[in-house]
């Protein structure tokens, strides 16, 4: 059970949050010009990394704000939380992790 | 005859407080402070259970949580609980316990023939049975279930209360032995917030069984008492005895189970006035694991006979409980710790016939002391036979030869009634491992010890839990860890100095000896048990090896080793070591098992807490709920809402009531409570733009005062929700959603505004519970409304369909929407919830002369189905597009973009032969199809047949005078007039495909 630092409320238990999919996937504004394959890339294809994952969470039982989380999918370490619209931070990890 | 094996002196039990208890129907007496196990031993009861598979007679092996044998059915009736460890059950007055897995009695057990038939139950039996064709399992299931049962589940509901608590701590300390107490003292004195938990009734851990140790110049018992008194006086320290830390989860969350009243007679006032158990969830900055170590039994032949016990357990029974497990012991060991046991036994007046030491040169301080006390020490020896079936009577010992793999041909028989063994100690690394810490093998102590911590977790294993067994190490470790935890949390008050242990004897090295040879091949003339609870023997491990199941995970699944309720606390290392030996590799190469929560079993009641019955899920009621109740309506659950289903009159069936309600709406006027509709207030200069994006149709030109039906798609083009949205003002809309979809839609809309369209000025507020909604529907609805809202012009020009007006109804300010879900002229009156009952009653009173009829959700569904109106989630299932529903008319061709638009152009979504929504009219007009019925076009004698769709909605329509149904059917719109088949319940129903509109297809009735 994660302890997630909501940028607006502070550290709260995971059960207060809902997962809101992978982050930093912009909705294409030119959908009509995209091929089915290109559109499917946006619509269906998601990363499944071992290590740092940039994802969105929503503080459903709190402030109800969406925000970004950089989380390690192996250790569940949360390296950063940051507001929507901010760029993904580069996470430097120690050797051996 | 009472307490024949109770020692005249010693022990921490209170002999001035005798307690009566019953085991297997026989009355006994024990003392306050006893466990059921210690009380049984004090009474000379050594046979306490039958084993799982072979029904072998079993006695008490341990004195703690690791107990594999002494599993007990405790209590009676609805409080009866199976599979409890006798070693952890505190005795109370009137306790009633029964042994398990025996019939008709412990001493005469019919199931013991399993022992003779063990060839049909070889290791791997379950594995193979599960893996092979299903019929094989079904053939054996009945037999296995009957023979392999443990305890019995009570059949009545649990009468007890359970509680839950969340807590935070600077340091959570697990285990209140020397290391845990030292940690708590250090952290507590420094000013940290500390929670100290221990699974036993009394804190002190190993010190409670230790008659030798001296700490800070006083006896161990006195030091424990002093430490606890000091800790109790600290306001930031919480002491939780009778509490097991059973689960360690991400980010330092630890679950505890506190047994609040389990030590009290269950119906005593003290027990009934408190929750029985309490589940704690502790988020700790630091977790100090002072969990000690578990002794390993030695694997010698027939090591499961009642009277075979862990050496340290015997020490605990003698020293702590004043109960001797027998009169005369033989001790089998490969290390020094068993020598102190021997000395303590002799001190207490229990005779020790011999110490059988596997070591070739058993020397050292403790060995010398034992010899000096006249105890015979047989170095380089093994136990090669255990005599006695229901209790140990004697053992045979022989000299070890050939590197410890064989024994001499001549043996010697020693009379004894207990065999105490010590194969070394395994640190209790369960919580460390649950926290996903990595273990490493320590060859000196022949055990796995904590190594690397998972980043993001913060814990420290101290003392025996990290393999540092000496008392001084425990105290130093614990005190340092407590200090560090306090400092890390910013608490730095002076904590005094580390407690100092008195001199301890030095320990000589162990001998690595995983199975004791008996002079015969494994499995001949007896069994070397490794996992007592699941009846796994050394021969089974060898069989697994021969059949190629050699990794630890395969070994576990193949033999079921470590998969019983004790999770192999006494068996895992022995099994791993045996496999390593067979493979000729080092133990770590076989691997370690993954420890998973819970450490010991936790009651379901503790997990449920108070969240059961009425508290399981919140119930949402409309402001009119009590009226529906008073008028006999049963309720239908929609999400968390309870909605009136129908209103039966005396003598009416549901069918009668629904038909009456449906007819009334078509002929006069019905009234419905629609308060549960989801409602979202949308404001901001970009509100209209936003609606254009989230709905398929166009919203820019909707005039204030007008309403429009909208369909919402997921980005994949599939229908997600629908509802009517009204323009209140230029930049202000009122959206309605389905009852069940309200929260999902709100989150969906917020998601787009917060994450994607962050520059748009749109603000959403859920107003579902701020507006109560009363619908009046039917040809007389306008006349009725005009009587209760005399100032409101209601003609079709002033107040046309799909518009709303603000007005006063029965003296109450209302917002009235003219929208319909029945196809009849309908007014939906929205008002403050507190006035809803007044308006409802006024409408009922004024409507009496028209026969106004309250109708529930069932009639509402029939009415909308007659018109072919969809319900999202019933006609759709997340794979349904607007085109599939025949609703192209609502999908804008002009709008440049909206959610789902691009996906509707995907090759699969625009396929012409997808499943389409169609109507079905059964050949027999009285046949009402079951919803979900599968549809075939080509009927065959028997399955398989190609299923081309399913029935989504199906009712009897009194207005059509026949049954009606809607269905999603492959290529359905191109099958108009075709006959399709629905085989179910051993019959075949024929139906003709029609348009999904059954009543007033032209929509002529909308203006009443
Ligand atoms: Zn928040």
Supply the DSSP string of B640-698, one letter for each residue.
TEEEE---PPTT--HHHHHHHHHHHHHHS-EEEE-TTSEEEEEESTTHHHHHHHHBSS-
Do both B221 and B337 map to the same domain?
no
Do both B752 and B812 map to the same domain?
no
For residue B842, what are the β-bridge partners?
none
The residues in B 696-735 lying below 8 A from A, measured between CB atoms, are 715-716
**Structural contact between residues B631 and B841, judged by C-beta atoms closer than 8 angstroms:** no
Label residue B563 by pLDDT band (50, 70, 90): confident
Taking a 5 Å cut-off on Cβ, the residues next to ion ligand 1 are A 6, 8-9, 59, 62-63
Spell out which residues of chain A touch residue B751, defining contact as CB-CB under 8 Å.
Answer: 20, 58, 66
The residues in B 418-437 lying below 8 A from A, measured between CB atoms, are 436
**How many domains in chain B?**
6
Q: Which of these three, B798, B830, B863, is where a domain ends?
A: B863
For residue A43, give how far its alpha carbon lies from the nearest alpha carbon of chain B (Å).
Answer: 7
CA of A59 to the centre of ligand 1 (A): 5
* pLDDT value of residue B112: 63
**Is A84 domain-assigned?**
yes
**Is A71 domain-assigned?**
yes
Residue B170 φ/ψ, nearest 5 degrees: -70, -40
Give the integer Cα–Cα distance in Å for B810 and B813: 8
**How many domains in chain A?**
1
For residue B1, is pLDDT > 50? no
Mean pLDDT of B346-368: 95
CA of B175 to the centre of ligand 1 (A): 36
Q: Helix B178-190 to helix B471-488 angle, to the nearest 10 degrees?
A: 30
Q: Decide if B758 and A84 are in contact by the 8 Å CB cutoff.
A: yes
Residue A56 φ/ψ, nearest 5 degrees: -105, 140
**Does B153 lie at the interface with A, CB-CB under 8 angstroms?**
no
Residue of A nearest to B715 (CA): A43
Question: What is the CATH classification number for the domain harbouring B725?
Answer: 3.30.70.1400
pLDDT digits (tens, 9 = 90+) for B918-936: 999 999 999 999 999 999 9
Question: What is the CATH classification number for the domain harbouring A21?
Answer: 3.30.2270.10
pLDDT digits (tens, 9 = 90+) for B739-762: 999 999 999 999 999 999 999 999
Q: Which of these three, B766, B791, B818, is where a domain ends?
A: B766
Do both B67 and B192 map to the same domain?
no
Kindly provide the ipTM of the predicted complex, given to two decimals.
Answer: 0.96
Domain coverage including residue B682? 678-766
Q: Decide if B906 and A39 are in contact by the 8 Å CB cutoff.
A: yes
Query: Which tokens sit at B325?
Result: 């497990």
For residue B706, what are the β-bridge partners?
B803
Question: What is the CATH classification number for the domain harbouring B818?
Answer: 3.30.1360.120
Reported pTM = 0.91
Query: Which tokens sit at B422?
Result: 């010590």
Supply the DSSP string of chain A, one letter for each residue.
--EEEETTTEEEEGGG-EEEEES--PPPS-GGGS-HHHHHHHHT-----SSEEEEEEE-TTTT--EEEEEEETTT--EEEEEETTSPPPP----TT-
- Sign of torsion, CA B40 B41 B42 B45? positive
Kind and range of the H or E run holding B180:
helix B178-190
Q: Decide if B250 and A60 are in contact by the 8 Å CB cutoff.
A: no
Q: Decide if A18 and B747 are in contact by the 8 Å CB cutoff.
A: yes
Spell out which residues of chain A touch residue B168, defining contact as CB-CB under 8 Å.
Answer: none
Domain coverage including residue A53? 3-25+42-89
**Is B964 domain-assigned?**
yes
Q: Decide if A77 and B756 are in contact by the 8 Å CB cutoff.
A: no
**Sole residue written with tokens 């490794």:** B530
**Does B1000 lie at the interface with A, CB-CB under 8 angstroms?**
no
For residue A97, is pLDDT > 70? no
**Is B788 domain-assigned?**
yes
Do both B116 and B232 map to the same domain?
no
**Does B283 lie at the interface with A, CB-CB under 8 angstroms?**
yes
Do both B150 and B212 map to the same domain?
no
Do both B147 and B215 map to the same domain?
no
CA of B362 to the centre of ligand 1 (A): 65
For residue B906, give how far its alpha carbon lies from the nearest alpha carbon of chain A (Å).
Answer: 6
pLDDT digits (tens, 9 = 90+) for B34-89: 999 999 999 999 999 988 888 899 999 999 999 999 999 999 999 999 999 999 99
For residue B888, is pLDDT > 90? yes
pLDDT digits (tens, 9 = 90+) for B130-153: 555 555 555 555 555 555 557 888
pLDDT digits (tens, 9 = 90+) for B182-224: 999 999 999 999 999 999 999 999 999 999 999 999 999 999 9
CA angle, residues B518, B522, B525, in degrees to nearest 5: 70
Among A23, A30, A64, A72, the strongest candidate for a mutation testing the B interface, having the largest count of B CBs within 10 A, is: A64
Give the integer Cα–Cα distance in Å for B713 and A18: 21
**Is A36 domain-assigned?**
no
Do both B733 and B810 map to the same domain?
no
Do both B1 and B121 map to the same domain?
yes
* pLDDT value of residue B502: 96
Eight-class DSSP state of B190: H
């Amino acid at each position: 059970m994660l302890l997630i630092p909501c940028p607006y409320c502070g550290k709260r238990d995971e059960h207060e949050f809902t997962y809101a999919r992978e982050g930093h996937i912009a909705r294409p504004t030119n959908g009509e010009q995209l091929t089915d394959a290109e559109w499917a890339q946006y619509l269906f294809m998601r990363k499944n990394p071992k290590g740092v994952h940039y994802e969105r969470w929503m503080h459903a039982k709190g402030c109800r704000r969406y925000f970004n989380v950089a989380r390690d999918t192996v250790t569940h370490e949360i390296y950063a939380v940051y507001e929507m619209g901010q760029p993904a931070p580069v996470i430097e990890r120690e050797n051996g992790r | 005859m009472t307490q024949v094996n109770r020692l005249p002196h010693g022990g921490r039990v209170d002999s001035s407080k005798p307690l009566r208890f019953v085991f297997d129907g026989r009355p006994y007496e024990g003392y306050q402070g006893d466990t059921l196990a210690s009380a049984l031993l004090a009474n000379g009861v050594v046979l306490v259970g039958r084993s799982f598979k072979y029904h072998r007679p079993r006695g008490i092996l341990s004195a703690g949580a690791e107990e594999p044998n002494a599993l007990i059915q405790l209590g009676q009736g609805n409080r009866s609980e199976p599979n409890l460890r006798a070693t952890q059950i505190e005795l109370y007055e009137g306790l009633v316990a029964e042994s398990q897995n025996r019939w008709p009695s412990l001493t005469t057990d019919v199931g013991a023939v399993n022992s003779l038939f063990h060839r049909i139950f070889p290791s791997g039996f379950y594995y193979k049975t599960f893996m092979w064709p299903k019929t094989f399992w079904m053939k054996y299931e009945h037999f296995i279930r009957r023979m392999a049962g443990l305890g019995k589940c009570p059949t009545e509901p649990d009468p007890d209360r359970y509680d839950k608590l969340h807590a935070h701590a600077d340091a959570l300390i697990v285990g209140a032995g020397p290391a845990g107490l030292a940690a708590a003292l250090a952290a507590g004195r420094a000013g940290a917030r500390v929670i100290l938990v221990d699974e036993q009734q009394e804190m002190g851990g190993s010190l409670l069984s230790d008659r030798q140790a001296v700490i800070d110049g006083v006896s161990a018992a006195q030091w424990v008492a002093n430490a606890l008194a000091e800790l109790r006086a600290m306001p930031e320290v919480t002491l939780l005895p009778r509490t097991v830390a059973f689960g360690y989860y991400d980010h330092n969350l630890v679950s505890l189970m506190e047994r609040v009243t389990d030590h009290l007679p269950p119906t005593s006032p003290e027990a009934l006035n408190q929750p029985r158990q309490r589940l704690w969830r502790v988020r700790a900055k630091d977790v100090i694991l002072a969990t000690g170590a578990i002794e390993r039994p030695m694997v010698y032949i027939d090591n499961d006979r009642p009277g075979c016990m862990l050496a340290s357990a015997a020490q605990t029974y003698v020293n702590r409980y004043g109960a001797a497990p027998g009169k005369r012991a033989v001790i089998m060991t490969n290390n020094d710790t068993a020598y102190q046991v021997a000395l303590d036994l002799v001190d207490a007046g229990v005779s020790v016939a011999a110490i059988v030491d596997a070591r070739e040169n058993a020397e050292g301080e403790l060995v010398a002391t034992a010899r000096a006390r006249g105890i015979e020490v047989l170095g380089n020896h093994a136990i090669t036979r255990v005599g006695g079936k229901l209790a140990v009577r004697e053992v045979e010992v022989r000299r070890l030869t050939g590197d410890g793999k064989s024994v001499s041909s001549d043996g010697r028989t020693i009379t004894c009634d207990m065999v105490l063994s010590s194969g070394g100690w395994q640190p209790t690394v369960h919580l460390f491992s649950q926290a996903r810490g990595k273990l490493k093998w320590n060859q000196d102590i022949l055990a796995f010890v904590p190594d690397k911590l998972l980043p993001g977790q913060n814990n420290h294993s101290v003392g025996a839990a990290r393999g540092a067994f000496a008392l001084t190490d425990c105290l130093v470790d614990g005190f340092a860890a407590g200090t560090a935890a306090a400092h890390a949390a910013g608490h730095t008050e002076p904590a005094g100095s580390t407690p100092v242990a008195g001199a301890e004897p030095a320990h000589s090295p162990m001998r690595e000896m995983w199975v004791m040879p008996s002079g015969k091949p494994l499995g001949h003339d007896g069994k070397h048990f490794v996992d007592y609870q699941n009846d796994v023997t050394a021969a089974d491990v060898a069989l697994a090896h021969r059949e190629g199941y050699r990794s630890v995970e395969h070994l576990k699944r193949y033999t079921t080793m470590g998969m019983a309720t004790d999770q192999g606390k006494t068996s895992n290392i022995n099994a791993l070591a045996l496999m390593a030996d067979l493979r000729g590799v080092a133990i770590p190469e076989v691997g370690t098992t993954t420890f998973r929560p819970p450490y010991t079993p936790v009651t379901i009641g503790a997990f449920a807490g108070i969240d059961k019955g009425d508290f399981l899920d919140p119930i949402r009621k409309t402001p009119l709920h009590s009226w529906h109740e008073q008028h006999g309506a049963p309720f239908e659950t929609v999400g968390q809402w309870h909605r009136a289903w129908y209103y039966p009159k005396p003598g009416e069936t549901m069918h009668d009531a629904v038909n009456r309600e449906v007819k009334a709406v078509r002929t006069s006027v019905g009234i419905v409570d629609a308060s549960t509709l989801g409602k979202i207030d949308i404001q901001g200069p970009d509100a209209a733009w936003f609606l254009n994006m989230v709905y398929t149709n166009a919203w820019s030109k909707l005039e204030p005062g007008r309403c429009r039906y909208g369909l919402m798609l997921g980005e994949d083009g599939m229908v997600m929700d629908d509802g009517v949205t009204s323009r209140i003002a230029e930049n202000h809309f009122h959206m309605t959603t389905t009852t069940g979809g309200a929260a999902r839609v709100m989150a969906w809309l917020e998601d787009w505004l917060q994450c994607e369209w962050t520059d748009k000025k749109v603000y959403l507020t859920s107003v579902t519970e701020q507006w109560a909604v009363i619908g009046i529907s039917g040809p007389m609805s306008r006349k009725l409304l005009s009587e209760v809202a005399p100032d409101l012009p209601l003609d079709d020009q002033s107040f046309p369909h799909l518009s709303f007006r603000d007005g006063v109804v029965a003296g109450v300010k209302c917002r009235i929407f003219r929208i319909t879900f029945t196809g009849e002229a309908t007014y939906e009156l929205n008002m403050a919830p507190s006035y809803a009952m007044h308006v409802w009653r006024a409408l009922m009173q004024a409507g009496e002369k028209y026969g106004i009829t309250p109708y529930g959700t069932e009639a509402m569904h029939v009415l909308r189905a007659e018109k072919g109106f969809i319900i999202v989630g019933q006609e759709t299932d997340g794979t349904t597009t607007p085109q599939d529903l025949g609703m192209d008319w609502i999908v804008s061709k002009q709008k440049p973009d909206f959610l789902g638009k691009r996906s509707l152009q995907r090759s699969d979504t625009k396929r012409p032969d997808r499943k389409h929504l169609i109507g079905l009219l059964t050949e027999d007009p009285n046949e009402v199809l079951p919803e979900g019925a599968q549809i075939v076009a080509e009927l065959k004698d028997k399955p398989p047949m190609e299923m081309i769709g399913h029935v989504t909605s199906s009712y009897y329509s009194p207005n059509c005078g026949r049954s009606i149904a809607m269905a999603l059917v492959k290529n359905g719109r191109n099958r108009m007039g075709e006959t399709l088949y629905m085989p179910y319940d051993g019959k075949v129903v024929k139906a003709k495909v029609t348009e999904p509109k059954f009543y007033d297809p032209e929509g002529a009735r909308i203006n009443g």
